[in-house]
Each structure stands twice: as C-alpha cells, then as structure tokens.
Amino acid sequence: MNSRRSWLIWGVALFAYVIAVMQRTSLGVSGIEAAHRFDVSASALSSLAVVQLIVYAALQIPTGVLLDRVGPKVLIAAGAVLMFAGQTTLALAPSIGIAILGRILVGAGDALTFISVIRLLASWFRGRILPQVSQWTGNIGQLGQVLSAIPLSLLLHRLGWQPAFLSAAALSLIASVLVIVLLSNGNPTRPPADAAAPESGAANWRGAVHQLRESLARPGTQLGFWSHFVTQSSGTVFSLLWGFPLLTAGLGYSPGTASALLTLIVAAGVVSGPILGILTARFPLRRSNLVIAIVVMIGVTWTTVLLWPGHPPFWLVVTLVVVLGIGGPGSLIGFDFARTFNPMRSLGSANGVVNVGGFLASFVMMYLIGLVLDIQNTARVAGGAASEVFAWDSFRIALLVQYLVIGTGMFFLVRARRLTRVKLHAEEGITVAPLWVSLVRFWRRRTD
C-alpha cells in the first residue's frame, strides 16, 4: 500500500480524469460559438449542457453498481473511448440534434470516470493519506478546465470549431491507451475488503442491487449526496456553461479575461483542496460544518454580486470566482462520507449515489437559468427593445434560481446530518456536540 506503484497507478488514473474534465467543460468556453454555429436560443443552448449532465447523473448509480462488479479499469477505459466518440461527433455535427448526441456520449464517458478513479484509490492507498489523495485527485483533475479555458479556447478562436474539438477528442484516445496498458484494478498484496462477507465484490447482479439499496438507506450516504449537491453545483453551472457568456456578453470582459477567470476557479480549488483534505482528516466529526461554511460563503458572495448597483467591480467578480473554486474540493467531502459509512464491497455504489447530487442540482439550475434568460428576452423584444439574451440585468434575475435549488439541498443536508449522528451514537456510542459547545470546551481547555 502507498507504494511507488500506487503513485504510478494514481498518475495514470489522474491523467484520464484531467482529460475527462476537459471534455466536460469544453462547452463552457464555446457556448456563444455553439449558439451561432447551430443558430439556437439560450434555452436550446442550455440543452447541450443539460442533456450531458442528465446522462452523467442518470448513469452514476448504474456505474457504481457495475464498478463493484467489474472494477475501475474497464470503466475508465470505456469512458475515455466514449468521450473520444462524443467529441468527434460534436466536431463534425451539422445540426443541434447531432451535437446533442455528441454531448450525450461525452456525458456517458464522463460518468464512468470519476467514481471509478475514487474507487481505485481505495484499493491502492490507506490511512490518513487516502482522503488527502482523494482531494488532490479532485483538485488536480480540474486542470482539465484550464485545458479547455486556454489551449482549447485558443484553438477554437484561431483554427475554428472542428480542429479544436477533434484535438480534444484525440486526448481521450491517448488516455484510453494509457489506461489499458498501465492501469491495474487493485494492489495484489492487499487483503480483500470485507473478506468474511459471503458475496464480497457483488458476485452477482442481485447482490449488487442489494448493496445499492443498503448504500441508499445509510444516512451517511445521504449526507454525502446532499453535501455534493449544495457545494458543487453553483461552480459547475458557472464553469460548464453560463460563466463565459456572463463574463463576456453580460459584464463586457474580453474572452482572454473570461478564460483567465475560469482558470482562477481551478487555481482556487488547487490551493484550497489540500487544506480541506487536511481538515477533513483532522476533524472527521466536523466535516458537515465545513460543508455548511462553504455554502454560506458562496451564498453571501453571490448575493453581494447580484445586489451590487450596476456592474459589480472586478475585485468582487474575482472574489466570486475564488469562492466558487473552493466549492469544488468542498464537494469531495461527500465522497469521504461515503467512504466512512459504507463497507468497501459497496463503496462504488455509494460513490455513485453521492456523485449524482451536484450534477442533479447543476442541470436543474442550468436549464432554468437558460429558460429565464429566454423569457426575459422575449418580453424585452415584445416591448420594442433590441434582443439581448445575455444582458447582465437578465443574468441577475436568472441566477436567483440557485437560491431555490441550493436552499432545498441545505434543508435535506441538515436532516441527513441529524440522522447520521443519531445512527453514529446508537452504533458506536459517539455523540457529536453542537459546534459552539465544542468551541467553548476548546477555549476552556486553552485557558485552564
């Protein structure tokens, strides 16, 4: 465990994930070009991203069940091949219908990748390094967004649609070859997890479905789902589709500045991720407090931006981007809940459940934002004004849907946390005091 080979396996899996993130976010820097290329409205444009996320979210639980049965190597390789096919289809698409098919393939391939990589880490690492490696994986993986924000964006604007997306597709083909040649499912020196279980690893599909039901029933899995739901979604909506139009057409920034700001999201995640990983490992009973703090920070920052008279100043937009970047590694805490409250034999299923959360919230918000933008533009044109779909004042109203979606998620997160703590007390005798009580006790110990 934690050997040189473990780090090699991690490196190969990480490369595959970086490329998957690049394919996932490639539409974020090409939204305006896609609208012009296929001559579609804002809500139709959002369907390109929404259908991708619907496929991604819908496949998470089946992927988790399949993962417990066949292992991560096959799924990571298959995901890379699907994304190669999807980006190639998008590059050559003559119409919005074919383009949607391409994004469906990208969403399917992306769905197979991340939870397979996270499951792989649990087979090659153990101890306190595991949550930190998981955080590094999620954070470094977001460099794929840098690849889409800078090199892919440059290719798109200099060489055109087809060369840009065919180049992106080629990287997935390279990733599939590396995975097939170098990746291995598990450390052969590690004792099998849950060796005493009669059907370790889901020996048949009935056993796999039973493990899925067990995972869904665990409050800890539900807590992971809602943690992912509330922390990841706002940043995903921003980076996958609406951030680039908001920054360029809405606030008037140049494409270069907008690309730099999207890159800053990744940098914020890379810096904050290891810190969150250390805090998660150091204070395992306070992970939900970290989640809530991140959501409050995102909510306060969005509120300030949306209420600012006129266009918000650049420093405030930078602050927003940094805070959204923290939400990405914050969502990985959800997978740590899954790992803590599920046995190894059903960890794939549990990770699949958790990973649905953020993307479910994302595609709901993404579509509703596009719909509200179109409704406002239709009213504007009907009143005799010029069409301006991506006006900043329109974004101000459309982005309010975040409060409804994430507010709903916070209600269920608090409920799942309460049930998890009740179960933890009943099974292990551990009582988690309210945070303020723990802080008072800590202060008294320091002053005594």
Number of domains in the chain: 1
Interval 289-332: pLDDT, tens: 899 999 999 999 999 999 999 999 999 999 999 999 999 889 88
Q: Which of 349, 325, 354 is nearest to 337 (CA)?
A: 354
**In angstroms, rounded to a whole number, what is the distance separating the alpha carbons of residues 222 and 124?**
26
d(CA 392, CA 64): 40
C-alpha distance from residue 42 to each of 370, 389, 401, 407 (Å): 5, 7, 16, 25
pTM: 0.73
Tokens of 312: 């918000």
Do 69 and 114 contact (CB within 8 A), yes or no? no
Structural domain contains residue 278: yes
pLDDT band at 395 (very low <50, low <70, confident <90, very high): very high
Nearest-10 Cα torsion for 279, 280, 286, 290 = 80
Spatial contact of 53 and 356, defined as CB atoms under 8 Å apart = no
Average pLDDT, the chain: 83
Q: What is the CATH number of the domain that holds 390?
A: 1.20.1250.20
- Structure tokens of 406? 């994430």
Across 173-177, 273-277, 425-429, which has the greatest mean pLDDT?
Answer: 173-177
- Residue 34 lies inside a defined structural domain of this protein: yes
End-to-end, the C-alpha distance of the chain in Å comes to: 42
In a domain, 30, yes or no: yes
Task: pLDDT band for 147, please (50, 70, 90 cuts).
Answer: confident
User: Distances from the Cα of 322 to the Cαs of 240, 302, 329, 393, 397, in angstroms?
Assistant: 16, 12, 12, 22, 22
Other beta carbons less than 10 A from residue 391's beta carbon: 17
At 183-221, the pLDDT tens digits run: 888 654 444 444 334 344 444 566 666 767 777 778 888
Q: Is residue 207 part of a domain?
A: no
Tokens at 33, concatenated: 């070009």
Q: Which residue has the higher pLDDT, 1 or 182?
A: 182
Read off the pLDDT of each residue in 264-274 and give the average, rounded to a whole number. 85
Using the structure block, give the residue that is written with the tokens 């269920």. Answer: 412
- The verdict on residue 192 lying in a domain is no
Q: Is the residue at 196 inside a domain?
A: no
Q: Model confidence at 168, in pLDDT bands (50, 70, 90)?
A: very high
Query: 84 pLDDT band (50/70/90 cuts)?
Result: very high
User: DSSP code of 387?
Assistant: P
Contact 336, 133 (CB under 8 A): no
pLDDT of residue 24: 87
Give domain status of residue 12, yes or no: yes
Which residue is listed with tokens 């390094």? Answer: 129
Residue with tokens 């998981």: 134
Residues of the chain above pLDDT 90, percent: 34
- CB neighbour list of residue 97: distance below 8 Å, 6 or more residues apart: none
C-alpha–C-alpha distance, residues 337 and 417, integer Å: 11
At 308, which amino acid appears?
W
- Residue among 149, 207, 189, 203 nearest 25 (CA): 149
Q: At what angle do helices 96-111 and 31-38 cross, to 10 degrees?
A: 140
Give the tokens for residue 441: 């006790």
Joined together, the tokens standing for residue 42 give 């804002």
Question: Could you list the residue range(s) of the whole structural domain that residue 278 is in?
Answer: 4-183+213-443
Classify residue 233: in a domain, yes or no. yes
pLDDT at 440: 56
Measured in whole angstroms, how far is the alpha carbon of residue 252 from the centre of its chain? 27
